[in-house]
């Protein structure tokens, strides 16, 4: 017994606007059947014109706080995982969310690890809580990626949706101390596989002195689809199998795997590779799409509310994405 870290509550938010495959098919010379057969996605949610990532994140955060029975001013740390911040560089989206929800006593920062970001953020918050017993932290994954895709590029545009998920973490004295493994990793040699320009290497204006027009293709996400698929299948297997090996168990012993919802075909390939039934992988992407850093917390909150995820379940989280980055955790819910 000792200081333990517990996920005290989860929350999520999906924008009201639902965009079906039929709605976008004409933009990319495609069809609902083709998109679904290649992705497992039928629809996704898009933020309203007056909604930004912080708005989605704040909604999810407030629902997580309510579920946890924790007031916003009791939060000591906010970590927001996002690849689509409100502003290009600063202020951080976490700071904007802090103000929106009234978490006046919280430190706040963003974490950029793409689709691995939520699991990375959980570990940052967990370590902070171990160093600050008695405190509470809020971890958020929030994205508005619908504004970063080129609708003429169907390899990217058909995948992404907007949404946010959140979790409240609390430290408790004399609770069960988790001894299960956690894994974080990166491989910068694959940085070019998924990119979204706009930083100092590829600024939106090619010449910061002259007033040159914005180049159309420089503002959109670019992805090397086949390379990403191959990386994801191999890495997801390695994450889950590696975590289980360290814990002295088999992947089949897990109650459920909550993996990044990139593409159903990726999860099918991983299930075959690992010899697991597809049902072992919790999925929501049919009606949500790929929400990047928001996908895992969206899954967790939905599973909790459905009664699928119960106290005592041994689960694995697995994220993988741009960077290249990957992250995994294996623990007995709700103790990290």
The catalytic residue positions are 115, 260, 290
Give dist(CA 93, CA 105) in Å, integer. Answer: 16
Task: Return contacts of 125-132, CB within 8 angstroms, 24+ apart.
Answer: 125/77, 125/79, 125/169, 126/5, 126/169, 126/336, 128/77, 129/3, 129/5, 129/77, 129/169, 129/170, 129/171, 130/3, 130/5, 130/171, 132/76, 132/171
Kindly give, in sequence order, each residue whose CB lies less than 8 Å from that of residue 18, ignoring residues fewer than 6 positions away. 43, 44, 45
Q: For the purposes of burial, counting CB atoms within 10 Å of the CB of 77, is it exposed (0-12), middle (13-18) or buried (19 or more)?
A: buried
Q: Which residue has the tokens 């992805």?
A: 223
The number of residues in the chain equals 336
């Amino acid at each position: 017994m000792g200081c333990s870290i517990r996920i005290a509550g989860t929350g999520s938010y999906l924008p009201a606007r639902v965009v079906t495959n039929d709605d976008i098919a004409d933009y990319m010379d495609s069809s609902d059947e083709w998109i679904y057969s290649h992705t497992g996605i039928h629809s996704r949610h898009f933020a309203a014109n007056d909604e930004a990532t912080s708005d989605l994140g704040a909604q999810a955060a407030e629902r997580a706080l309510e579920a946890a029975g924790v007031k916003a001013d009791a939060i000591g740390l906010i970590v927001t995982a996002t690849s689509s911040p409100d502003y290009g560089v600063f202020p951080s989206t976490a700071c904007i969310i802090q103000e929106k929800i009234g978490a006046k006593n919280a430190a706040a920062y963003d974490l950029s690890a793409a689709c691995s970001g939520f699991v990375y953020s959980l570990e940052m918050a967990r370590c902070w809580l171990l160093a600050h017993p008695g405190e509470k932290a809020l971890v958020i994954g929030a994205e508005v990626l619908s504004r970063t895709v080129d609708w003429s590029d169907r390899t990217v545009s058909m995948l992404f949706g907007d949404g946010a998920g959140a979790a409240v973490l609390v430290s408790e004295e004399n609770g069960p101390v988790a001894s299960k493994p956690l894994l974080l990793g990166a491989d910068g040699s694959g940085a070019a596989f998924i990119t979204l320009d706009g930083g100092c290497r590829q600024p939106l204006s090619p010449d910061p002195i002259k007033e040159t027009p914005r180049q159309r293709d420089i503002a959109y996400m670019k992805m090397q689809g086949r390379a990403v698929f191959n990386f994801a299948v191999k890495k997801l297997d390695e994450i889950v199998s590696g975590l289980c090996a360290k814990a002295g168990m088999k992947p089949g012993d897990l109650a459920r795997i909550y993996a990044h919802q990139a593409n159903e075909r990726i999860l099918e390939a991983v299930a075959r590779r690992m010899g697991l039934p597809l049902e072992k992988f919790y999925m929501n992407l049919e009606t949500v799409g790929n929400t990047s850093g928001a996908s895992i917390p969206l899954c967790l909150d939905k599973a909790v509310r459905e009664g699928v995820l119960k106290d005592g379940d041994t689960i694995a989280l697995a994220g993988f994405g741009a960077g290249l980055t990957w992250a995994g955790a294996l623990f007995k819910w709700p103790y990290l």
